[in-house]
Amino acid sequence: MNTSQDRTLLNFISSIPMSYSGDISASNSGNYISSKVYYPTFSVSTLALNMFKSINNNTSGYISSDDVNYNTVIQESLKSEWAKSQPNLLTLLRMVYLESFSAIDWETRTQRNVQVTKNDSLVLYNNIGYIIESLEEYDDKYEVIMVSLQKLRSDILYAHSVMRGEPSAL
């Protein structure tokens, strides 16, 4: 059964410069921030890689539609100044969206918990932290994006705590 999904979202996450083996091409151009806490990791989980392949092969069961809600974060990021000056940051944001979309899709379609490793959740958490820290250099110009990512990062931290069996998360 095919389901309508935002064309912008599908194009955004299927445009990661990634091979079908999962190798992601990080650009050597652009500016990088120097972070004391986060280091970007250019890899995705097996779940996200499988979703990437199925979207690009048109076997995901999703039909691109302009009738579905348009995502403000994607819209803002694509027209941002950092999209061109920091192409790796845009790639990381695409990866974050792919990981999130893949997890939601899995749980929705299979009605089973997502099989994501602790390492996958830590990579996602740190990549989100790196993006937020990078965008802080622009003051409040990209606040919509940062707030959305902070909420997602909080959800990822909670899920990671549950995976580790921490009593405060249960």
**44-56: per-residue pLDDT in tens?**
998 899 999 999 8
Question: Do the domain assignments include residue 140?
Answer: yes
Q: What is the mean pLDDT of residues 4-18?
A: 87
Question: Do the domain assignments include residue 42?
Answer: yes
Question: Do the domain assignments include residue 169?
Answer: no
Question: Do the domain assignments include residue 103?
Answer: yes
Question: Do the domain assignments include residue 109?
Answer: yes
Question: Do the domain assignments include residue 70?
Answer: yes
Which of 92, 102, 94 lies closest to 60, judged by CA? 102
Range of the domain at 95: 3-163
Question: Do the domain assignments include residue 168?
Answer: no
Dump pLDDT digits (tens) for 14-67. Answer: 999 998 888 888 776 555 667 778 888 898 998 899 999 999 888 877 777 776
Identify the pLDDT of residue 170.
Answer: 47
Question: Do the domain assignments include residue 170?
Answer: no
Higher pLDDT, 106 or 125: 125
* Number of domains composing the chain: 1
